[in-house]
Amino acid sequence: MSPLPLSSRGTIGFFFLFLIFFAGCSAPPGNPADGKRWFLMNNCSSCHGPHGNDGRAVNIAGLEMGFGSFLRKIRKTDTQIMPSFPETKVSKQDAADIYAYLRSITPEITR
Ligand code: HEC
């Protein structure tokens, strides 16, 4: 009899599930300074404003959605106004940088 409540096979299986979960859902580490550049370069700023909170479109500064939802949003938007940004325009790493940038700024307009 094993002294552990989980069999070692179960533990290993659990470990792999854990890895798959984090590989799929978590943001790769993003660099906010690069993200700011991609945000301006891809003209996100033309709709959302140069600070994410001062444009005509919805305020996305200090974004609270998870990275997975954010990535889905830019890959395939459900609005006719916002264009979609495929991998060729905004790579996953660029998206992670933009995400890090948006998380680093505040939704309050301070000018
Ligand atoms: C042509 C205008 C336009 C451009 C360019 C644009 N967006 Fe948007 N975006 C919108 C509009 C309008 C909405 C609100 C409708 C919606 O939620 O789909 C939106 C919604 C979003 C949302 C969801 C916000 C929420 O709280 O649900 C995110 C995140 C977002 N945009 C990020 C970006 C990023 C990042 C870029 C650049 C890579 C970008 N957008 C470029 C117009 C734009």
CATH number at residue 88: 1.10.760.10
Quote the number of domains for the chain.
1
Q: Is 24 a member of any domain? A: no
- For ligand 1, the distance from its centroid to the CA atom of residue 10, given in whole angstroms, is 42
DSSP 50-105: TTSSSSSS---TT--S-HHHHHHHHHS-SSSSSPP--TTTS-HHHHHHHHHHHHHS
pLDDT of residue 30: 95
Query: What is the position in ligand 1's atom list of the atom closest to the CA of 79?
Result: 18
- Gap from CA of 56 to ligand 1 centroid (Å): 10
Q: Give me the mean pLDDT over the 94-99 stretch.
A: 97
Q: Residue 14: pLDDT band by 50, 70, 90 thresholds?
A: confident
Q: Tell me the CA–centroid distance for residue 9 and ligand 1, in Å.
A: 45
pTM: 0.82
Is 71 within 8 Å of 39 (Cβ atoms)? no
- Residue 5 forms part of a structural domain: no
Helix (H, G, I), strand (E, B) or coil at 26: coil
Distance of CA 47 to the CA centre of its chain: 18
* Predicted local distance difference test score (pLDDT) of residue 24: 55
| Nearest protein Cα to ligand 1, atom 39 | 44
Interatomic CA distance for residues 80 and 82, integer angstroms = 6
Structural domain for 79, as ranges: 29-104
- Centre of ligand 1 to C-alpha 8, Å, is 46
91 within ligand 1 shell (Cβ under 6 A): no
